[in-house]
């Protein structure tokens, strides 16, 4: 028997990377998972199929987090198919490189649209649905340690994740009375397409590892395990928290 049997989850940006790790970790515990990305490619279909092989039900829904209408219909589609929504994981994200003096207005807007406005839209419709259901709910936002400490060369990204960190705390207060917990996970360096350029560069790889006391990079399942923990019924007293999963990076 899984720890999340009967629960229904949406994970945005879950056709690959950390989102896929979260979707699989939730499914292993018996959760039915809606896989999402804004492209309907082979990865998207494969992830939902992989989840089904674990014995959990799964569908793929194409939706762009920067479009409010898409986030509304993502929640509606989920409820139509599975009957309810218990867990919303806001994972979709991009990393726009640039220091403050090199970023353009377009760079800034693109970064904020996906990483911050997208979290707002998805949270809005998830909370509306959870309030309507009148039971408990879980919002889990994938922020970053870049939302807690500075990282050179990615000022818009840091600002977007700092926004997610603080948005998490505020929405937790608004939702506490409805038994909806709102938490964030702040990953350190995790091996995905987003970081492969840095990890494959010998010098950067060495420096990143030197800053990670446990001596290894994280894997998507490390974040999946943290998401399962926050999704449990037993975690109902944890809200407004930013859970750092970084191999000790920010403990130094
Ligand atoms: P990734 O491998 O690049 O995957 C990003 C995912 O987000 C993909 O599924 C992508 O879908 C989806 N996505 C991007 N824009 C979207 C949009 N507008 N609407 C819907 N989906 C969209 O990145 P990752 O490393 O797994 O990162 C996942 C999250 O973790 C991000 O929020 C990131 O900031 C955060 N994070 C990552 C690390 C790390 O070290 N990797 C560390 C801290 C935080 P497509 O495949 O369709 O493009």
Q: Which residues form ligand 1's pocket by a CB distance below 6 Å?
A: 12-13, 15-19, 37-39, 64-66, 91-94, 114, 142, 144, 187, 189-190, 192-195
Q: Which residue has the tokens 């089904």?
A: 52
Residue nearest to ligand 1 atom 3, measured at CA: 194
CATH among 3.40.50.1820, 3.40.50.720, 1.10.3720.10, 1.10.3230.20 for 8-192+220-243: 3.40.50.720
- In tens digits, what is the pLDDT along the chain, a chain of 252 residues? 899 999 999 999 999 999 999 999 999 999 999 999 998 878 888 998 999 999 999 999 999 999 999 999 999 999 999 999 999 999 999 999 999 999 999 999 999 999 999 999 999 999 999 999 999 999 999 999 999 999 999 999 999 999 999 999 999 999 999 999 999 999 999 999 999 999 999 999 999 999 999 999 999 999 999 999 999 999 999 999 999 999 999 999
Rounded-to-integer distance, Cα 152 and Cα 223, Å: 24
User: What atom in ligand 1 is closest to the CA of residue 95?
Assistant: 34
User: What atom in ligand 1 is closest to the CA of residue 66?
Assistant: 18
- Give distance in angstroms: CA of 1 to centre of ligand 1: 30
What was the pLDDT predicted at 44? Answer: 82
What was the pLDDT predicted at 159? Answer: 98
What was the pLDDT predicted at 154? Answer: 98
- Give distance in angstroms: CA of 182 to centre of ligand 1: 20
State which of 90, 96, 194, 249 you would mutate to test the pocket of ligand 1, scoring each by most atoms of that ligand within 8 A of its C-beta: 194
What was the pLDDT predicted at 40? Answer: 82
| Token duo for residue 239 | 């809200």
Angle (CA) 160-143-248 rounded to 5° is 125
List the alpha helices (DSSP H) in the chain.
17-28, 42-53, 68-82, 105-112, 118-133, 155-175, 196-200, 202-210, 220-231
- Give distance in angstroms: CA of 121 to centre of ligand 1: 16
Rounded-to-integer distance, Cα 3 and Cα 199, Å: 34
User: What atom in ligand 1 is closest to the CA of residue 190?
Assistant: 40
Written as one string, the DSSP assignment of 68-134 is HHHHHHHHHHHHHHHS---EEEE-------B-TTT--HHHHHHHHIIIIIHHHHHHHHHHHHHHHHT
What was the pLDDT predicted at 91? Answer: 98
- Give distance in angstroms: CA of 142 to centre of ligand 1: 9
Active-site entry in 38, 125, 157, 178: 157
What was the pLDDT predicted at 41? Answer: 79
- Give distance in angstroms: CA of 172 to centre of ligand 1: 23
What was the pLDDT predicted at 43? Answer: 81
pTM of the model: 0.98
What was the pLDDT predicted at 45? Answer: 81
157 flagged as catalytic: yes
């Amino acid at each position: 028997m899984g720890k999340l049997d009967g629960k229904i989850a949406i994970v945005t940006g879950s056709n690959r990377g950390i989102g896929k790790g979260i979707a699989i970790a939730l499914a292993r515990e018996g959760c039915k998972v809606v896989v999402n990305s804004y492209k309907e490619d082979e990865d998207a279909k494969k992830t939902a199929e992989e989840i089904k092989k674990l014995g959990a039900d799964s569908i793929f829904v194409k939706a762009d987090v920067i479009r409010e209408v898409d986030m509304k219909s993502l929640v509606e589609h989920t409820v139509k198919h599975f009957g309810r929504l218990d867990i919303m994981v806001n994972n979709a994200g991009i990393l726009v490189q640039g220091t403050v003096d090199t970023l353009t207005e377009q760079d800034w807007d693109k970064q904020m649209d996906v990483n911050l406005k997208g979290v707002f839209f998805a949270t809005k419709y998830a909370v509306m649905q959870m309030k309507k259901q009148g039971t408990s709910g879980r919002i889990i936002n994938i922020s970053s340690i870049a939302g807690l400490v500075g990282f050179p060369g990615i000022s818009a990204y840091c600002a977007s994740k700092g926004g997610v960190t603080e948005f998490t705390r505020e929405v937790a207060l608004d939702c506490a009375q409805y038994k909806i917990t709102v938490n964030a996970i702040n990953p350190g360096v995790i091996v995905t397409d987003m970081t492969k350029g840095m990890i494959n560069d010998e010098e950067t790889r060495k420096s990143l590892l030197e800053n990670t006391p446990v001596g290894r990079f994280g894997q998507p399942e490390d974040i999946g395990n943290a998401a399962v923990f926050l999704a449990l019924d037993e975690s109902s007293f944890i809200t407004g928290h930013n859970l750092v999963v970084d191999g000790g990076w920010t403990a130094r």
